[in-house]
Amino acid sequence: MLAKRIIPCLDIKDGQTVKGTNFVNLRQAGDPVELGKAYSEQGADELVYLDITASHEGRKTFTDLVKRIAAHINIPFTVGGGINELSDVDRLLNAGADKLSINSSAIRNPKLVDDIAKHFGSQVCVVAIDARNTASGWKCYLNGGRVETDRYLYEWAKEVNERGAGEILFTSMDHDGVKTGYANEALAHLSDTLDIPVIASGGAGKMEHFKDAFTLGKADAALAASVFHFGEIPIMKLKEYLHEEGISVRL
């Protein structure tokens, strides 16, 4: 059985790590290179860096940051934000990233998923999906959760799976930052219907939430931000707890 992965997520704004609640009310959480290095040393399996206000002007800054991260950490890391074309993928992989996460650009241009998989391999392409549970079902959102789309979580996840995505990173906007647990029912549905790994995101507040994401939600990896950034859950303690609960993790 493959080990379950623990992934700290660092949202980057103006070169600094920030964290919010339900995608708003951002507060500073520290230097992204120093935090990444600390997580690498503390036993994190991977890292995700998201340039949450990515714009044309921010691309150079973020590329330089990715180079600095690659020079200081020795675990795989994914970067996302402002990736709209193959040249962006090429630039960030050359800067040292292991995988790329695309979200809004994939919904606007689904063929981008096919193109990344074809040119760089499926393992490089992580499709992030931000969704909110509405009266008509789980709807997907663009632009950091600001714009509702006409796409639904399950059919969109299935489509990108078929187009060649290597992983799905599903964030429940309803659960983001509120620390009441992950959206396990939706996670389980994704895990049952897709043949690629599913990363759970949004809702971690205590160690039991990670266990639930792996057992009830059947997730392959669990991503969290504030509980790690503000020292509420030490990564090694979390892994020891999961191991004691019979969940396969790398210790």
pTM listed for this prediction: 0.93
Range in 54-68, 184-198, 206-220, 237-251 the model is least confident about: 54-68
Q: Of 51, 130, 176, 220, which one is the catalytic site residue?
A: 130
Indicate whether 52 pLDDT > 90: no
Q: Of 11, 45, 51, 176, which one is the catalytic site residue?
A: 11
Residue-wise DSSP of 108-123: H-THHHHHHHHHH-GG
Q: Write out pLDDT tens, residues 161-212.
A: 999 999 999 999 988 777 899 999 999 999 999 999 999 999 999 999 999 9
Q: Say if 146 falls within a structural domain.
A: yes
Identify the CATH number of the domain in which residue 168 sits. 3.20.20.70
Question: Is the pLDDT higher at 21 or at 215?
Answer: 215
Q: What is the pLDDT of residue 229?
A: 85
Q: Note the helical H segments in the chain.
A: 32-42, 58-72, 86-95, 104-108, 111-120, 153-163, 184-193, 207-215, 226-229, 235-244
Q: Write out pLDDT tens, residues 98-139.
A: 999 999 999 999 999 999 999 999 999 999 999 999 999 999
* Residue 14 is among the residues annotated as catalytic for this protein: no
Residue 213 CA, chain-centre distance (Å), reads 14
Q: Say if 249 falls within a structural domain.
A: no
Range of 94's domain? 5-244
Q: What is the tally of structural domains in the chain? A: 1
* Residue 176 is among the residues annotated as catalytic for this protein: no
Q: What is the pLDDT of residue 143?
A: 77
Q: Say if 162 falls within a structural domain.
A: yes
Q: Write out pLDDT tens, residues 74-107.
A: 999 999 988 999 999 999 999 999 999 999 999 9
Q: What is the pLDDT of residue 162?
A: 98
Q: Say if 251 falls within a structural domain.
A: no
